[in-house]
Amino acid sequence: MGSPKKDENKGFFAAMTSGLSLFGNAMHRSVNGLLGYEGLEVINPEGGKEDAEDEAQRGRWKQEERESYWKMMHKYIGSDVTSMVTLPVLIFEPMTMLQKMAELMEYSYLLDQADECEDPYLRLVYASSWAISVYYAYQRTWKPFNPIIGETYEMINHGGVTFISEQVSHHPPMSAGHAENEHFTYDVTTRVTLKRDGVVLDLVPPPTKVNNLIFGRTWVDSPGEMIMTNLTTGDKVVLYFQPCGWFGAGRYEVDGYVYNAAEEPKILMTGKWNESMGCQPCDMEGEPSGHRTKRVYSFLQNVWHVADTPKNDQFQFTYFAHKINSFDTAPKKLLASDSRLRPDRFALEKGDLSKAGAEKSRLEERQRAEKRTRDAKGHQFTPRWFDLTEEVSATPWGDLEIYHYNGKYTEHRVTVDNSDSREEVDIASIEFNPWQYGNLSPNSPHSEIPS
């Protein structure tokens, strides 16, 4: 994975996570960046400036937790994130960044519809609605666990989609992912390809900002333009995410147009990224066809709406987020490196913060020990399912290498699925093992690579 140049193609997940500093990307080098703001400005999304003091006392944090965590973080203001102490598990959700990437597939049926659609403009309506749908899940503001290098996540049993992601680098932390079914392929760091006609869609999302990380109710805003371009035809859709104004004015609202290659408006789109999106044909003036009054939406065609969600869920998970953590979506002979098997993630899911913290520290120390061994041996970590390319992309954090899916996971799954083995394995009993070196002790960095 890598984040391409600002004005060129940006992987959707890469672009969103680079904006969501809450998610702990270590490329945000200072604690200020990790927190998402330079000062302690508190913004009430439903009020005005005078409501900031009251808003600061609200949110998911207990007062003692807020004060304790802020004191700990305050000591590190201006320092390198990578030199910090282990972050407390109370700010985490029981999911890793690799699993978070899989949430892009919740409404994958929209990409199926885009592939089946013969109208080139409606095709962009469906595809861009898929891109918008992701924002509902991404308003959840707990921090996912950073994957261990070599860690993976596999998902099947969802709309025919096969999804694989892998942590390919530790410093800087980079993940790569690939999703595919009979209708489309999506490489998390590149583009969507619709299989029927070979259409390639390029997406540039708006910037995303996190507000009130510690004080007040944490909330996400993504003001700006989302542009999806059909690189095959030159048609495109431009959607504007309204910024949140005082007393919540404009929050969640999205509207814009699908344009043909001559940049003439063809379809009007409007809706809210936390509710639904609709569309309607429009004239050359951008007005709904057959109507001369401004902004008449009574005949909108509904394209997408948010699925039902659990009530009062502790981490604001959707049903699909719970499905991602479930072994029901795991394939036969799950890789031992899968995020579901992480003991810290599993303990947090069960509500055992003490065990989750201890396991998280143990895994991080094991990772540091393995790095010392790798450095001592002069070994370079080699991902299993993605290959490092010769491409290098410039980002605000420096040049990053690009990884591409190598197809080996597809071959692996075919072999496993065609095997005659009838051995039943309790998936939950598999020990988490993303390690390149076997039997590695933190105090003995000289183990051999396992065969």
Report the C-alpha dihedral over residues 97, 331, 177, 315, rounded to 10 degrees: -20
Distance (Å, whole) CA 306 – CA 337 = 32
Kindly give the confidence (pLDDT) of every residue in the chain, 451 residues in length, as a single tens digit, with 9 standing for 90 and above.
443 333 344 455 554 444 333 333 322 333 333 333 333 466 666 666 666 556 555 655 565 655 665 565 555 554 444 444 456 787 789 999 999 999 999 999 999 999 999 999 999 999 999 999 988 887 787 888 999 999 999 999 888 999 999 999 888 788 999 999 999 999 877 689 999 999 999 988 887 776 655 555 666 777 788 999 999 999 999 999 887 766 566 688 999 999 999 999 999 999 998 899 999 999 998 888 755 444 444 456 899 999 999 998 988 899 999 999 999 899 988 999 999 999 999 999 999 989 999 999 999 999 999 999 999 999 999 999 999 988 876 654 567 778 899 999 999 999 998 887 666 778 878 999 999 886 555 444 333 333 2
Q: How many CA atoms lie within 13 A of 380 on its CB side?
A: 4
Phi, psi of 388 (to 5 degrees): -70, 130
Q: What pLDDT is attached to residue 401?
A: 79
In sequence order, what E strands does 83-191 have?
92-96, 143-145, 152-158, 161-169, 174-180, 184-187
User: Would you give the end-to-end CA distance of the chain in angstroms?
Assistant: 27
Q: What are the C-alpha distances in Å from 133 to residues 103, 120, 161, 273? A: 10, 20, 17, 6
Distance (Å, whole) CA 170 – CA 371 = 9
Q: What pLDDT is attached to residue 242?
A: 85
For the four alpha carbons of 284, 289, 291 and 296, in that order, the dihedral sign comes to negative
Q: What pLDDT is attached to residue 142?
A: 80
Give yes or no for a cis peptide into 172 (omega within 30° of 0).
yes
Provide the 10 A C-beta neighbour count for residue 15.
21
Q: Which of these, 136, 99, 91, lies nearest to 327 by C-alpha position?
A: 99
Distance (Å, whole) CA 431 – CA 255 = 48
Task: Give the 3-state secondary structure of residue 353.
Answer: helix
Return the H-helix or E-strand segment holding 411: helix 408-417
Order of strands across the sheet that contains 161-169: 152-158, 161-169, 174-180, 184-187, 192-194, 199-204, 224-230, 236-241, 253-259, 265-272, 276-281, 301-305
pTM for the model: 0.79
Q: Which of these, 128, 99, 132, 98, lies nearest to 111 by C-alpha position?
A: 128
Distance (Å, whole) CA 17 – CA 208 = 8
